[in-house]
């Protein structure tokens, strides 16, 4: 069942859609080859229209969609997954426990796709994640297009266990990111994405809590809170068929995997660097997120996904 806030959020999205469609229709009549700078602006306008969502804003969910799409990458096993394919459009992947709640971002980006039908969903979801970071006062991430979409009639779903789980061990986290081709420093940088957004009971089973005091600002408070606050263990709710275990301080939350950054000797020094230097974290996050979201551009889950030849206006 959905909360009142979720229903209200859906109505606000519909209103935002009408606003963005009206603006775009007047400013960009006709359809031509993809203008990625325009797509970036259309996404920005959508996020502006939706920024007062009572469930915590659209931008964190859009970032999560890009991450969950790319984080399935496995170069050693088929289907390879990754940002190519946009296979989260279909069951069973869209209904996996980790992907519940992403529909609102897909719906918003569908509106942008309708205005820019030449762009692939795979490219659009990644660009949406990039724009979401910048919209939340984070760094600009340069975009390279070229991801191809999978076709439903020859679709093979990626396994449900590809993404890191909320209750993974420290070693399990490292192994998952190594499978993606990411090292420990890149893993710690990417987990800083928990600086934004909330946990949602209707999606994950965790209570409606945020990781720090600025859930719509892409800052390093997440890392600072890891070390500066006291976290008390709680067990409550059903999280994917398992009792939810988390750590709480007032209205703030840390998951088991978050506290590995504080307690594991391989991760702790890096997390401390980011707690002390936001610019360093931003630089490392951009490099790691681009690296992850550009994996699979050569071979995707279903068919070859070659990088497009670069032309004018193909980067944004």
User: Which residues are known to be catalytic?
Assistant: 68, 211
CB atoms within 10 A of CB 27: 11
Secondary structure element (H or E) that encloses residue 61, with its range? helix 59-70
Query: Tokens 């439903």 correspond to what residue?
Result: 152
The answer to whether the beta carbons of residues 189 and 180 sit under 8 Å apart is no
- Torsion sign over Cα 46, 51, 55, 58: positive
305: nearest Cα among 155, 146, 126, 144: 146
**Of 39, 180, 60, residue with least CA distance to 121:** 39
Report the C-alpha gap between 209 and 254 in whole angstroms. 9
Give the position of tokens 């279903």: 302
CA 316 – CA 314 distance, rounded (Å)? 7
C-beta of residue 244 within 8 angstroms of C-beta of residue 236: yes
CA distance 210 to 198: 4
């Amino acid at each position: 069942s959905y909360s009142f806030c979720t229903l209200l959020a859906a109505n606000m999205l519909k209103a935002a859609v009408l606003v963005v469609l009206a603006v775009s229709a007047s400013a960009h009549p006709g359809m031509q080859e993809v203008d990625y700078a325009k797509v970036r602006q259309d996404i920005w306008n959508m996020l502006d229209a939706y920024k007062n969502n009572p469930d915590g804003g659209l931008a964190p969910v859009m970032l999560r969609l890009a991450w969950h799409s790319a984080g399935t990458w496995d170069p050693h096993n088929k289907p390879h997954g990754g940002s190519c394919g946009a296979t989260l459009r279909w069951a069973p992947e869209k209904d996996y426990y980790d992907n519940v709640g992403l529909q609102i971002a897909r719906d918003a980006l569908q509106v942008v796709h309708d205005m820019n039908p030449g762009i692939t969903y795979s490219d659009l979801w990644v660009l949406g994640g990039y724009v979401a970071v910048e919209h939340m006062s984070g760094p600009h991430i340069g975009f390279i297009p070229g991801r191809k979409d999978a076709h439903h009639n020859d679709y093979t779903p990626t396994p449900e266990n590809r993404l890191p789980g909320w209750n993974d061990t420290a070693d399990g986290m490292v192994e998952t990111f190594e499978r993606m081709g990411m090292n420990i420093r890149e893993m710690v940088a990417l987990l800083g994405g928990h600086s934004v957004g909330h946990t949602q009971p209707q999606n994950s089973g965790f209570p409606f809590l945020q990781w720090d005091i600025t859930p719509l600002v892409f800052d390093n408070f997440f890392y600072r809170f890891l070390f500066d606050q006291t976290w008390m263990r709680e067990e409550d709710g059903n999280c994917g068929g398992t009792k939810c275990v988390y750590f709480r301080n007032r209205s703030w939350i840390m998951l088991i995997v978050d506290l590995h950054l504080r307690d594991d000797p391989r991760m702790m020094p890096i997390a401390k660097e980011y707690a002390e230097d936001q610019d360093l974290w931003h630089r490392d996050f951009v490099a790691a997120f681009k690296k992850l979201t550009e994996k699979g551009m050569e071979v995707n889950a279903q068919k070859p996904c070659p990088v497009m030849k670069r032309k004018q206006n193909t980067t944004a």
